[in-house]
Amino acid sequence: MSISHIEPHILNTAQSWLSEYYDPETREAVQKMIDEQGADLVESFYRNLEFGTGGLRGIMGTGTNRMNKYTVGTATQGLANYLKKALPDEPQLKAAIAFDSRNKSEYFARIAAEVLAANGVKVYLFDSLRPTPELSFAVRTLKCHTGIVITASHNPKEYNGYKVYWSDGGQLVPPHDKNVIAEVLKIKSVADVKFSGNEQNIEIIGEQIDNAYLDTLKSLSLSPEIIKKQHDLKIVYTAIHGTGYRLVPEVLKRFGFTNVLTVEEQMKPDGNFPTVISPNPEEKAAMQMALELARKENADIILATDPDADRVGMGVRDDNGKYVLLNGNQSASLLIYYLLTQWKNKGKLTGNEFIAKTIVTSELLKDIADSYQVETFDVLTGFKYIAEVIRENEPEKKFIGGGEESYGYLIGDVVRDKDAVASCAMLCETAAWAREQGLSMYQLLINIYHEYGFYLEELVSITKKGKSGAEEIQQMMEGYRSRPPKEINGIQVIKIKDYLLQKEQNLLKGATKPIDLPKSDVLQFYLEGGSKITVRPSGTEPKIKFYFGVKGDLPDKNKFEEVNRGMRNKLEGIIEAMNLK
């Protein structure tokens, strides 16, 4: 269907892709879009892909707003140009590159490697697909100045992405992210991209880094003697067709677990993700086959990793034998509770330790850390900010662990991104530790709620695709800023945090104070009684996200189900009052 009016800059940009610098297949696809004057033309060329919280991410296809050879090549040339400017005295710039199981991931990784090599950068390219956290580990181990991983994480199959890392092993943060983008925008023609040359600068890496990574993760174990006793903990694991297929079973084996069952249909890497609609362990449908196997085998714990193995979903058995899928806040709380308890038991707490979480993650993590007199750092959404906090505080302060509600966790500081390989091992160690005390993971979570307060959270995401969707999301945020709610579901709003304006308003006292975090398009509404609502446009998907959280008390563990129902009703009332449909 043709569109009556195409903005001139869209048409001009598309026509520039008809030059001889683009391959015949690309030119043919662009000419077809120009001839049809349809929505494809607008969506493919109305903007350039930009770095969000997770880097470059988009639908694969032809155009400036798509993941393809030319957008990957241009981004990589911009990165190379920035490296030379930022590090002019380095005799040999070095980069590590990894890729996941998605369609074209290996192809895009090879393009990135060739562009960097042509620019004189020494490239360490993995021989086959690897988890994102292993790329972070490789950057640090090989003392690289940068790293790239080709992945779109848990997005649907039509997407791919491009994450860039700095020398500390964390994703790009200011000013590097903005400076790389500035260099990319300076490239006005793909003729300026060095797509080939200096092939000798590319070195293939693999098993040696795997073993170093796995050995390092094994050193994180806090309870090897308990695992020896509880080695037969029955674990069901699925890689959901992603990169965890080899290293997650291997790390569990190295930790000492002997009873690991895998969902064989989902252990084969496949960018089409044939057994799921979306390869996202946050969604119950993606874990359905694992749930079925767990029921059949009466497993103790279920684990599922996303395509690049940086996020992990977990299922546990309740007291009635029914499997419950925990959310990211619950899994993070179990991990942090276990880590801090064991650090204390082993005399490792010196007063200089800390944990980190994102501003949309449960306050339960802070409550737990406070009880151990361990500092908590709150950061903006995006694990790169947790990596930044680790870097800024080392070596004076020691990072124990941290996480975000979107199923990403990190244990220790050897990796500087969320790590599902390590998290799978440590979640199983937590389960073994609980089992040693006669508790299931479900019962351990109830104990935590009893001790620290009952937190219940839910994420509501609204998808708004394309150019019009982005504009609609912007209008929604402007509306919340200009007309903030005074009450929600009859509960008074007592505080508003605006991270774009970097301002916190206490509505009861009429006072304001600055927020000491970088600017970000995020709003938080705090309600009387401890409930919190966060509104944030996604940096990596065409979505606006609403994070809802309510808090209550659980004085009697035996009344968990009753209190849970009451909390659920309160949460649903607040969600309904926001009128998001």
Pairing of strands 543-552, 202-205: unpaired
Whole-number Å distance between alpha carbons of 54 and 384: 8
Per-residue CA distances from 20 to 32, 281, 449 (Å) = 16, 43, 64
Q: List residues bridging with 511 in a β-sheet.
A: 506
Whole-number Å distance between alpha carbons of 33 and 453: 57
Known catalytic residues are: 153
Find, among 239, 235, 292, 232, the residue nearest to 421 by Cα: 239
Using DSSP's 3-state secondary structure scheme, residue 398 falls into: strand
- 91's tokens: 């005799």
Whole-number Å distance between alpha carbons of 254 and 218: 7
Cβ atoms of residues 495 and 506 within 8 Å:
yes
- 293's tokens: 């196997």
3-state helix, strand, coil in the chain (%, to 5): 40, 25, 35
DSSP collapsed to 3 states, 104-170? CHHHHHHHHHHHHHHCCCEEEEECCCCCHHHHHHHHHHCCCCEEEEECCCCCCCCEEEEEEEECCCC
Helical H runs in 346-487? 364-371, 383-393, 420-436, 441-452, 466-482
